[in-house]
Amino acid sequence: MREVVLPVIGTVAAWREEARALARAGVPAEAVVWRVGAGAGDLFAGAPPAVSAPGRAPKLPRAAVEAIETALCHRDPERFARAYALVLRLSAGAVRWADRSDPAVRRILAQAKAVQRDIHKMHAFVRFREIPPVGPRRAFAAWFEPGHPIVEAAAPFFARRFGDMDWVIATPAVTARFVGGVLGFVETAPGARPPEDATEELWRVYYASIFNPARLMVKAMQAEMPKRYWRNLPEARLIPGLIREAPRRADAMRAAPPTEPPARRAMAARAMAARPAPAADADALAALRAEASGCTRCPLHRPATRTVFGEGPATAALMFVGEQPGDREDLAGRPFVGPAGALFDAALAAAGIGRSEVYVTNAVKHFKFAPHGRRRLHRSPERGEVEACRWWLDRERRLIRPRLIVAMGATACAALTGTGAGLLRRRGGVERTAEGTPVFVTLHPAAILRQPDPVRRAEERGRFLADLAAARALLERLGGHAATGAPA
């Protein structure tokens, strides 16, 4: 009997090498015992290595190799033995990879799927806290407890996404470290969980503000965010209390007399009191809109149907800025009425923000496109076009004087803060315009719609919603209101 001890770091690559050598040496599956050992250096504890054996290395279809190697990240202790046995059967022609009635093939596929799902969850649920930097780059740390040993498979995503900062993701067994642009792994030191800081508090505010007791669906919530991930999420600490409180809060909501008209009146009164001469604002805004309808400040006005100016009350405390009108907006003459607008509207409603309470506009007021047969394909505006159109955005801002602006996407960010770079890193943060108005940064809804993977798309949608809920909570802290008046 051969005992193969695989290292904790680089387990899959080590298994691949050993499985290849064992198969070449003709070692049957039943003759090998596999295990992972902390600090394993000598791979073959119980027998001499088989690497010098002469035979042919097994040849498998690419899809089989991918699924098997993904399944090797499953927590099943028998995974190495099962994978090796299947490799031998596949290479001997005893089973075909396409044969989905074979229990071993089916099990590998199911395990690979579970691993993929866990990787997606890790990508969505890791929460970084800023820590003191050791070099010139900002530094972040996160603690995460995945369902399977997936850190090495999941970490390259973070390296791509947060390539301009140093970070550490510690899990109970393995820690991923990205320092100076180099990704590496070490066995986790005891006590690696980073301390809490204000970022967690912010997450708790997000989560509490989007929670609606009347719509509590514990099963759906657990399916989307399985319980084993709760302990890694600062906001999840609220869940048991929110669930306990939900029936009482929902009863109270049902029993309460309808509050919408008085609440809306009170809100309107507050907004009116806070703003001198709102009627004059509305007139001035209408005049600005009329002026912009003849805009020729850049060449984009020529092919576009019309200027798509912002819309919403002149007294709005909350302003949303997108990139530029799309095909549908260009035809309708209104911002955010196409597919991105549908996602935006749904997120506003879920965050309890009334679209009629907020001002919605774009950084660029004309649709930029390239004709493609009968279709007009969106083209991103260039810096000069954004700069030319800032003339209108700045005047909209000065007239409306919102308490908070939400920048959706890099173009809006560039028009409001001077740069659109590093959006993913800045997302969820609050910056300022040159005049000092707070700008909450989030993604553009169209970027979420473009996400090809449905699981990631759903996750991004959830994050966008959480961003809008956080923006609403921030607005309320700043003394402004944009609520629908009805619970979200």
Choose the binding region for ligand URA from 34-42, 165-173, 206-214, 334-342 (rule: CB under 6 A).
Answer: 334-342
312, 322, 402, 480: residue in contact with ligand URA (rule CB under 6 A): 322
Q: Which is nearer to ligand URA, 148 or 366 (CB)?
A: 366
C-beta of 326: minimal distance to ligand URA in Å?
4
Confirm or reject binding of residue 165 to ligand URA (CB under 6 A): no
C-beta of 322: minimal distance to ligand URA in Å?
3
**Per-position x/- string for 437-476, each x denoting binding to ligand URA as judged by CB under 6 A, each - no binding:** ---------x------------------------------
Confirm or reject binding of residue 369 to ligand URA (CB under 6 A): no
11, 116, 188, 362: residue in contact with ligand URA (rule CB under 6 A): 362
Instruction: Kindly calculate the radius of gyration of the chain based on its CA atoms and give it in whole angstroms.
Output: 28
- Please list the residues that pair with 353 across neighbouring strands: 483
18, 329, 460, 467: residue in contact with ligand URA (rule CB under 6 A): 329
310, 312, 338, 485: residue in contact with ligand URA (rule CB under 6 A): 338
Q: Which is nearer to ligand URA, 170 or 298 (CB)?
A: 298
C-beta of 410: minimal distance to ligand URA in Å?
11
C-beta of 336: minimal distance to ligand URA in Å?
4
391 in Cβ contact with 415 (< 8 Å): no
**Distance separating alpha carbons of residues 366 and 362, to the nearest angstrom:** 9
C-beta of 301: minimal distance to ligand URA in Å?
16
C-beta of 424: minimal distance to ligand URA in Å?
18
Q: What angle do CA 107, 108, 114 make, to 5 degrees?
A: 90
**Distance separating alpha carbons of residues 95 and 104, to the nearest angstrom:** 10
Confirm or reject binding of residue 336 to ligand URA (CB under 6 A): yes
Confirm or reject binding of residue 340 to ligand URA (CB under 6 A): yes
C-beta of 335: minimal distance to ligand URA in Å?
4
307, 315, 324, 484: residue in contact with ligand URA (rule CB under 6 A): 324
> Cα 393 to the chain's mean position, in Å?
28
290 in Cβ contact with 317 (< 8 Å): no
Helices 454-477, 198-210: inter-axial angle, 10-degree rounding? 100
325, 420, 480, 485: residue in contact with ligand URA (rule CB under 6 A): 325
Q: Which is nearer to ligand URA, 246 or 449 (CB)?
A: 449
Nearest to 33 by CA among 77, 67, 70: 77
Confirm or reject binding of residue 335 to ligand URA (CB under 6 A): yes
Q: Which is nearer to ligand URA, 325 or 420 (CB)?
A: 325
Q: Which is nearer to ligand URA, 415 or 469 (CB)?
A: 415
**Distance separating alpha carbons of residues 150 and 40, to the nearest angstrom:** 19
Q: Which is nearer to ligand URA, 281 or 323 (CB)?
A: 323
**Per-position x/- string for 195-224, each x denoting binding to ligand URA as judged by CB under 6 A, each - no binding:** ------------------------------
C-beta of 39: minimal distance to ligand URA in Å?
53
186 in Cβ contact with 174 (< 8 Å): yes
**Distance separating alpha carbons of residues 91 and 84, to the nearest angstrom:** 11
18, 152, 166, 323: residue in contact with ligand URA (rule CB under 6 A): 323
Give the chain's length: 488
Confirm or reject binding of residue 312 to ligand URA (CB under 6 A): no
Q: Which is nearer to ligand URA, 2 or 444 (CB)?
A: 444
Choose the binding region for ligand URA from 2-10, 116-124, 318-326, 427-435 (rule: CB under 6 A).
Answer: 318-326
How far apart are the two ends of the chain, measured CA to CA in Å?
A: 63
C-beta of 94: minimal distance to ligand URA in Å?
55
C-beta of 365: minimal distance to ligand URA in Å?
10
- Which residue's C-beta sits nearest to ligand URA? 322
Task: Give the count of residues interacting with ligand URA (CB under 6 A).
Answer: 13
Instruction: Give contact residues for ligand URA (rule: CB under 6 A).
Output: 322-326, 329, 335-336, 338, 340-341, 362, 446
